[in-house]
Amino acid sequence: MKLFIDSADVSEVSALVKSGLGLIDGVTTNPSLIAQSGASIHERIKELCAVVEGPVSAEVTATSFDGMLEEGKALAAIAKNVAVKVPLTEEGLRCCHALSREGTAVNVTLCFSSAQALLAAKAGASFISPFVGRLDDIGHDGLQLIEEILDIYRAHDFATEVLVASVRHTGHVTAAARLGAHVATLPPKVFRALYKHPLTDRGLRAFLDDWEKTKQTIL
Ligand code: E4P
């Protein structure tokens, strides 16, 4: 399973890529993350594309088909590894279809149902982004949606990759991995939490305390 970082903070992404043992396969951004960063979208996407080799999702903000297509083309021109992100609306899917036919990778975002995911796959999306955390927030089961979409995509051999988004904790990541999701995009805090277990910390402390008593050194 591929792991993306859900952030527009280039220094944070860069630090994770450098320390990540090749674990970071791409980046996702959205208009809120770009706004939080305070950077220009063109500059920031260019910087992120230089930091990671894999796809960097950059989202359109127009809502009409023509507007999305024009913005999508401008974003795709920033770097070869841009994936244009479009919302799961009728116009968004038309734009996905048009861009995909031209060979541009498209990530269809704000997916909350398997019916929407079916349409995105038929529209030629490279990625579908179901938002598990936001579904959990309203008392639905986000991971159930991932299972449904994977069943549909497998049954019909769709090439669209399921990109689990709106990830809130490590349990979302491991459950998505067990289900066979292709990608999960993680806030940096959740990525770092994947390394952590209290028994690892406690065990290491005990080993080092015992080792110190021996007064030995290895080198
Ligand atoms: C990623 O593509 C999404 O934009 C992101 O995961 C949304 O996460 P949120 O629900 O925490 O805002």
Count of domains forming the chain: 1
Residue nearest to atom 4 of ligand 1 (CA): 30
CA of 21 to the centre of ligand 1 (A): 24
CATH code: domain of residue 184: 3.20.20.70
Ligand 1 residue neighbourhood (C-beta within 6 Å): 6, 28, 30, 109, 129, 131, 133-134, 165-166, 185
Asked if the structure places residue 77 within a domain, the reply is yes
Asked if the structure places residue 138 within a domain, the reply is yes
At residue 215, the pLDDT reads 98
At residue 20, the pLDDT reads 64
Structure tokens at 167: 């990830």
At residue 19, the pLDDT reads 83
Asked if the structure places residue 179 within a domain, the reply is yes
Asked if the structure places residue 131 within a domain, the reply is yes
Mean pLDDT of the chain, nearest integer: 97
Confidence grade of residue 97 (pLDDT, cut at 50, 70, 90): very high
Closest CA to 165 of 187, 185, 150: 185
Q: What is the pLDDT of residues 61-94, one digit of tens each?
A: 999 999 999 999 999 999 999 999 999 999 999 9
* Ligand 1 atom with the shortest distance to the CA of 163: 2
Asked if the structure places residue 219 within a domain, the reply is no
Asked if the structure places residue 14 within a domain, the reply is yes
CA of 166 to the centre of ligand 1 (A): 4
Distances (CA, A) of 159 to 12, 136, 152: 31, 27, 11
> Taking each helix axis from N to C terminus, what angle separates 142-155 and 114-122, rounded to the nearest 10 degrees?
40
CA distance 26 to 106: 14
Q: What is the pLDDT of residues 138-173, one digit of tens each?
A: 999 999 999 999 999 999 999 999 999 999 999 999
H-helix or E-strand containing 9?
Answer: none
Number of Cβ within a 10 Å radius of residue 87 = 20
H-helix or E-strand containing 184?
Answer: strand 183-186
What residues make up the domain containing 14?
2-214
At residue 161, the pLDDT reads 98
